[in-house]
Structure 1
C-alpha cells in the first residue's frame, strides 16, 4: 500500500468502528477488495437486503468495496481490533493468521465442485471456520471462488515442465509459494492491485487465478495464454470480528446467519454464470484457452502433499480424501 493510502486508512480508522447505532439501527460495516460488478459484491448486497428484511430494518450492513479500507490482510487486522465488522477474504490470506486454513491452498484436494461444497458444508468446513476463533475472528460462511489456473504472457502451460523457471505471481501465501516450487516455478508474491503493471513490465511471466478474476482484471490483455489445469480451489471466506459479533444479541446473530445462508446460495449461482461469461469473453478477445491433461500436475505435487503427513493440515487432507465420492457417483 502506498504512503498516501496508508495515511487515508489511518484517517479512516480514527472514525470507523465495526458496529454503530444510527437512528436506533445497528449498522455493521463490511469491507472487501472487489469491484461492484463482482459476484461477491452482488451477494453481499443481497445479504444486506435479507438482513434488513429479517430484522425489520433494525440490523443493516454498510458496504465498502474496491479496497477502500485496505488490502485483505489489513481488513482482517481491522476485524481483530473491532474497527470493522466483516470482510470477504481468500482462505489463502487467512493462513498467516490460522494454520488450519493452509489446507485450502494445497493443490488437487477436491475431485469436483460438488465435492468441494460437500466438504465446505460438512463438519470439516465448520471445524476450519471455528479455528478462526483463536485469531479473534469468526467465520460466517464460504463463497465460491472457483479454481485457479495458470495464465502466461509468452507461451502456454501444457505441463509442469512449462512452469519450470517461470516467475509466477501468487497470493501472499507460503503454501502457494511452495506449490509453485513443486511445479518447478519461481513464486513471486505481489499484491493484486500491482499485478497488472508487474505483468506489463515483465516483473513476472504469468500468474494464476480463476476466470472471472482473469477477465475483470484485464490481465488477458497482457497474458493471452490460459491453461485451465485447475490446480487449486481456494474458497473465499466471509469473516466477522469476534468483538463485534459478541456485541450483538442472540436474535441479531440469528438474523445474520440466515442472511449469510441466503447470500451463499445466490453467490453460488452468480459465480457459475460469471465463470461462463468470463471464459466466453476472453476467448472472444483472442485468448487461447486449453484444458491440459491434469495427470502430470497431480504427480508433481504428490511429494508436496506427503510433506504434510502427521500434521494438522495432513489430518484435514485425510478427512477430505475420505469424503471423496466413490467411483461411479455423479460429479461435475
Structure 2
C-alpha cells in the first residue's frame, strides 16, 4: 500500500479515537434564575467537582427552566436523559411519598431544629426513599420559610385568604394547606407565575423571601405577609441510572462537593434573605408580621386528618417534632 495512504489513514484513525483524558460531563438543570443563592451554590459545587477531579468530571448547569419544569426534569432523570436537578421537596413528594411530611405547616420549631432533621437519620431516610423511583437525593439546600404574598390585600389571618386564588406548587400537601386556610389553591409552574399574577389568573402565591425577590414578583404583589407557614427544602437529586454508571471516585467527588456546597449555601441564604427583605421594602412592598399562632391553630386539623388516613406519615411527623 502507498505509504502516503497509510499515513493519512493513521491520522484519520487517531482523530476518531476518543480522548481518554476527556472529561465526563453531567447535565444539571433547574428552574431558578442565575442570581438565586441556590443556583450560586450549584455553581460552587460544579467548581468543586472540577477541582476535586482535576477536570475529569464536570457539571454543566442549565438554569431558568431551560430544560423544562421541575416535574419534567425529574421525569428526565428517571429515564436517564438528564443527570441532575434541583427541585423543591414539595414537587418530589409526587415521586417519593414520605417527603410529603416536610410540607406540613409549622413542623419545625426554628432553623436549628430544621437543620438537625435534614442532617440526621430522618433526613437521610427521606433522601434515600426516592431511589426506588430512580431518583437519588444528594443533599438538602435551605429554602427558608414560605409565606404568602398577594396583589391587592394583606394576609393578616387565615380568613383573609377566603376567596383568593393562591398559586401553589404541584404538591398535594400544599394544596391541602391553602384549602385549610380558606384559600383556593391553583397549581402553576414557577416559570409561568409572573404572567399569571400580572393577568389575574391568581391573586397571590406563597414562597420564601429570596424567591419572591429574584423572581420580581414584588413588582406585581405589593403585600408580603411573613406568616412562615412551611419550611420546605430544596433537594439536589441525581438519576440513579447516571449514578450507577459512575466510578467510585466520581461518586466520592460529587458527594463531597454536595456536602461542601450545602454549607456554603446556608451562608448565602441568610445573606439573600436579608437583602431580599430590604429590597422589596424599598420597592414599596408592604411587609406585615401576622400572628403565626392563628395559622398554626388552623393547620392542626391537617395533622389530625393525617392520623386517620396515613398513620405512617403521622408518626413520621411526630418523630420530626420530637427531634432535639
1:167 to 161, 165, 168: 165
Distance 1:144 1:22 in 2: 38
Secondary structure of the 1:247 match is coil
Distance 1:41 1:179 in 2: 28
**Residue 3 (structure 1) aligns with:** none
1:40-92 Cα deviation digits (max 9, x unpaired): 11111111111111112211111111111100111111111111111000001
1:2-42 Cα deviation digits (max 9, x unpaired): xxxxxxxxxxxxxxxxxx98853211111111111111111
Summarize the Cα distance change of 1:21–1:148 in structure 2 as closer, same or farther, 3 Å threshold: farther
Distance 2:301 2:20 in 1: 55
> Across the two proteins, how many residue pairs are aligned to each other?
305
**Residue 318 (structure 1) aligns with:** 318
Distance 2:168 2:19 in 1: 40
Higher Cα Rg, which structure: 2
Which structure 2 residue ranges, 5 or more long, are not aligned? Answer: 1-17
**Residue 300 (structure 2) aligns with:** 302
- Where in structure 2 are the equivalents of 1:110-121 lying within 5 Å? 110-121=108-119
Distance 2:194 2:20 in 1: 40
**Residue 43 (structure 2) aligns with:** 45
RMSD value, Cα:
1.4
Shift of the alpha carbon at 1:311? 2.5
Summarize the Cα distance change of 1:296–1:251 in structure 2 as closer, same or farther, 3 Å threshold: same
Secondary structure of the 1:286 match is coil
Secondary structure of the 1:154 match is coil
Distance 2:121 2:166 in 1: 34
1:217-241 Cα deviation digits (max 9, x unpaired): 1111211010000001100000000
- Where in structure 2 are the equivalents of 1:139-158 lying within 5 Å? 139-158=137-156
Which structure 1 residue ranges, 5 or more long, are not aligned? Answer: 1-19, 326-332
- Residues 65 and 191 in structure 2, CA contact (< 8 A), matched pair in contact too: no
1:152-191 Cα deviation digits (max 9, x unpaired): 1111111101111211110111111100011011111111
2:177 to 176, 179, 200: 179
- Where in structure 2 are the equivalents of 1:1-332 lying within 5 Å? 23-309=21-307, 310-323=310-323, 325=324
Name the TM-score, length of structure 1 as normaliser: 0.89
Distance 2:66 2:317 in 1: 36
Distance 1:293 1:236 in 2: 26
1:93-127 Cα deviation digits (max 9, x unpaired): 11111111111111110111111101000000000
Could you list the structure 1 runs, at least 4 aligned residues long, displaced by more than 3 angstroms after superposition: 20-23
**Residue 13 (structure 1) aligns with:** none
Distance 2:188 2:43 in 1: 29
Summarize the Cα distance change of 1:117–1:22 in structure 2 as closer, same or farther, 3 Å threshold: farther
Range with bigger deviation, 307-316 or 80-89: 307-316
Secondary structure of the 1:301 match is helix
